[in-house]
Structure 1
Amino acid sequence: MGMRTDWIRHLNDDDGPFATVVLDATHDTADATERYRLRWRDLRERLADDGADERTLSVLDDAVVDAPAPSGTAGRVLVAAPDGVLLDRHTEVPPERGTATWGPVPELLPVLAAVGEQVPTVVVAIDNTGGEIRAVDGTVETVGSDSSGPVHKANTAGPGEGGADARVEETWKRNAQAVAERVDKLVRGGNADLLVVAGDAPARARLRDELASASAEIMAEIENTGGTVPEQVDDTVRAAADEVRERRRSAAVAGYATASGRDGGLAVTGLGDVVAAARAHAVETLVIDPSSVPGTELLVGADPTAVAQKPDELLDDGPTTSAPAVGVLVRAVAGADAGIVLAAPGDDVTLVDGLGAVLRFPIGPAA
């Protein structure tokens, strides 16, 4: 289905106008705070030149100054209107260049590109005594440490050592079972899409054997000595999450390519057909090639899904405004609970006007 849009849908509840800001929030040098504020000042001037009112600019000033500084490289995405900040997120990767736009609808394409798909993740550092687990919400807990049994094997073999070693392995197994039981619960409860496990190979194997299939299927392993706290493997966690995102993105693009190659009218491309599908609430997944989208504007009514190229395509006679096409379309399909996928260079897909859509039902002549 592509990237979920529930996290931007609430933007449709505000009448705007909107300031949309994407900026580098990196904080890894002594003068990082001053550089951050200088970057914001440049973007603020751009918004003011485009007509942003002082009330919205003041709201953004407060947000930029008051936010706690991130650690290391980061980006920040803000959408604000005169009544306040509507969206405020830090991102792991800073943008190549900051952007700031002011208009009747939010400029959501750079927001989608910066924030990316969320990958709810559970992280486990496993060893013979148990594991340290970080849940999707970031809370960390320690599980296992079965104190009733030995966890270390004898260094030298001797009479009866075989039985002692068996007891040690049984303790390891019980600890792995305890960790697996808690991990399975956290994966289910957090709707996790990724389980990252750090530790030595035997400990990871024991855990994998005890996990429910739903957890084992989303497991990514890190070769590491046991006992590593989850925070120390975050770079690998990010890399694993990126792989999940790319698999999803590729699958969504491939789904569009497959649908567009079949009869039945469940895929369209080109600005006109995509607009008609969005207006009919028929879009299941909007496909956008950011490098080739049209710079034209669309009409939009009070209902964010009331979008059109010409006035006579809108059914109601209410007030309309015009705004850049992609921002209008993103807002429209989010309002109808559709997904969005961004095409990348190298994708084997043809998009007229840089736009395509997989449909829930056929519209127009194909129907």
Structure 2
Amino acid sequence: MRLDWIRPLTEADGPFATVVMDATHDTADATEQYRLRWRDLRERLAEGGADEATLGVLDDAVEGGNAPDGTAGRILVARPDGLLVDRHVEVPPERGTAAWGTVPDLLPVLGAVGEEVLTVVVAIDNTGAEIRDVDGSLETVSSDAAGPVHKAHTAGPGEGSGDARVEETWKRNAQAVAERVDKLVRGGNAGLLVVAGEAPARARLRDELASGSAEIMAEIENTGGTAPEQVDDTVRAAADDVREQRREAAVASYATASGRADGLAVTGLESVVAATRAHAVETLVVDPSAVPGTEVWLASEPTEIAVQRGELDQLGLEPRGSAPATDVLVRAAAAVDAAVVLTAAGDDVSLTDGVGAVLRFPLGPAS
């Protein structure tokens, strides 16, 4: 999981209030239920030491934000001087969380926010296609061919050649759509291409696509004429499949690296903290079910961290407090453009202290 979107949190000083809440609006009393959920989370923050200025920032965000339709979750991160993160997600959390601390409470945030899968959606038929780009914009594409697009219902003299002209028109339309789709996939760095339409039309498009687009193509079994915005549930399911494939691949990569003797994988809190301090972490691996409540010490920069306060003193760094190890490590990973992967039940991987890392380079004894 890439962490670009939480980069602002690495550049700000705490304390922070972090809220992950159910923002579902699908019943007549949804607004009142939303307010009640927020009131409960607000009380937790106040009990944890949150100041009135920060609570006021969150009050304004909750009361003034546009409510999504249907089920949704919402993530808020705030300081006394303003809101740093305000993001809706498709799936509400099983339970809301609210925390006040030196660094944001990032583990439940990562659990709530799935990795972004940039997606191009195509609804294709014999005449062309409607395409939704990764940025949500819609366009209609077809070839300039003016030939017929419907075959004759009954056979007769010359009908064979007419059918051939129809099939040539279909092919040209598919070629035009494929050319545009390939451009959007490359330009938008898409990780998923979802294609809806009748099976023959989908097959013609698949045959015309560049290999990079065909490899990420997922097909929806339905008849033609379905617009991109009408297949969103299936698109979300396909994106979930891509996320899981990426997660499994990242865990497998760590497992492979940890089995080698080249020093490009470490596990255990002390080793991962040392690698973080050295800017060596490429992928941080976390087992949410096995993370201890240990806190680590931090100085002014996100990667200036240590298990023991004395380590910072020895490095000439001024300790600024301590915070839960996982939150500190995730924040530091975002600061150095590292990825984070959360393990799941059934993964064949073992992590000491619930954390591990794939490294950009091996660490020497003095690191």
Q: TM-score, normalised by structure 2?
A: 0.97
- Residue 140 (structure 1) aligned to one of 135, 138, 141: 138
Distance 2:95 2:129 in 1: 41
Distance 1:218 1:303 in 2: 39
1:53 is matched with which residue? 51
- Residue 113 (structure 1) aligned to one of 82, 102, 111: 111
Distance 1:39 1:312 in 2: 42
- Residue 71 (structure 1) aligned to one of 64, 69, 72: 69
1:97 is matched with which residue? 95
1:348 is matched with which residue? 348
Distance 1:231 1:41 in 2: 35
Distance 2:318 2:259 in 1: 38
Q: Which amino acid aligns with 1:360?
A: R
Distance 1:222 1:146 in 2: 27
- Residue 308 (structure 2) aligned to one of 301, 307, 310: 310
2:266 is matched with which residue? 268
Distance 1:44 1:320 in 2: 26
Task: Answer yes or no: is the 8 Å Cα contact 2:131–2:228 preserved in 1.
Answer: yes
1:80 is matched with which residue? 78
What do the CA deviations read for 1:205-256 (whole angstroms, capped 9, x no partner)? 1111111111111100011111101111111111111111111100100111
Distance 1:276 1:147 in 2: 63
Deviation of the 1:115 alpha carbon: 0.5
Aligned length: 365
Deviation of the 1:364 alpha carbon: 4.1
Task: Answer yes or no: is the 8 Å Cα contact 1:286–1:340 preserved in 2.
Answer: yes
Q: 1:100 to 1:75 in 2, by over 3 A?
A: same
Structure 1: stretches of 5+ with no match in the other structure: none
DSSP 3-state at the match of 2:130: strand
DSSP 3-state at the match of 2:283: strand
1:36 is matched with which residue? 34
DSSP 3-state at the match of 2:139: strand
1:324 is matched with which residue? 324
Distance 2:46 2:5 in 1: 27
Q: Which amino acid aligns with 2:151?
A: K
DSSP 3-state at the match of 1:290: coil
DSSP 3-state at the match of 2:26: coil
Deviation of the 1:111 alpha carbon: 0.7
Distance 2:100 2:23 in 1: 20
Instruction: Give the aligned CA root-mean-square deviation in angstroms.
Output: 1.3
Distance 2:34 2:158 in 1: 66
1:178 is matched with which residue? 176
- Residue 153 (structure 1) aligned to one of 139, 151, 154: 151
Distance 2:317 2:156 in 1: 92
Distance 2:187 2:39 in 1: 42
Deviation of the 1:31 alpha carbon: 0.9
Distance 1:142 1:58 in 2: 46
Q: Does 1:125 align with 2:123?
A: yes
Distance 2:115 2:74 in 1: 15
Task: Answer yes or no: is the 8 Å Cα contact 1:132–1:227 preserved in 2.
Answer: no
Deviation of the 1:357 alpha carbon: 0.6
Distance 1:108 1:71 in 2: 26
Deviation of the 1:78 alpha carbon: 1.0
Q: TM-score, normalised by structure 1?
A: 0.97
Distance 1:202 1:125 in 2: 13
Q: Does 1:336 align with 2:323?
A: no
Q: Which amino acid aligns with 1:202?
A: P
- Residue 24 (structure 1) aligned to one of 22, 25, 32: 22
Deviation of the 1:312 alpha carbon: 2.6
Task: Answer yes or no: is the 8 Å Cα contact 2:145–2:173 preserved in 1.
Answer: no
Deviation of the 1:86 alpha carbon: 0.7
2:165 is matched with which residue? 167
Distance 1:59 1:249 in 2: 35
DSSP 3-state at the match of 2:317: coil
Distance 1:317 1:331 in 2: 18
Distance 2:156 2:342 in 1: 64
Deviation of the 1:349 alpha carbon: 0.3
Q: Which amino acid aligns with 1:66?
A: G
- Residue 206 (structure 2) aligned to one of 195, 205, 208: 208
Structure 2: stretches of 5+ with no match in the other structure: none
Deviation of the 1:29 alpha carbon: 0.8
Distance 1:125 1:177 in 2: 15
What do the CA deviations read for 1:31-87 (whole angstroms, capped 9, x no partner)? 111111110111011101111111111111111122211121111111111121111
Q: Which amino acid aligns with 1:184?
A: D
DSSP 3-state at the match of 1:9: helix
DSSP 3-state at the match of 1:358: strand
DSSP 3-state at the match of 2:254: helix
Deviation of the 1:319 alpha carbon: 4.1
Distance 2:38 2:124 in 1: 43
4+ aligned runs moved over 2 Å, structure 1? 316-319, 364-367
Q: Which amino acid aligns with 1:353?
A: D
DSSP 3-state at the match of 2:86: strand
Deviation of the 1:147 alpha carbon: 6.6
Deviation of the 1:173 alpha carbon: 1.1
What do the CA deviations read for 1:123-172 (whole angstroms, capped 9, x no partner)? 00100111111110111111117571111111000111111111111111
Task: Answer yes or no: is the 8 Å Cα contact 1:126–1:226 preserved in 2.
Answer: yes
2:189 is matched with which residue? 191
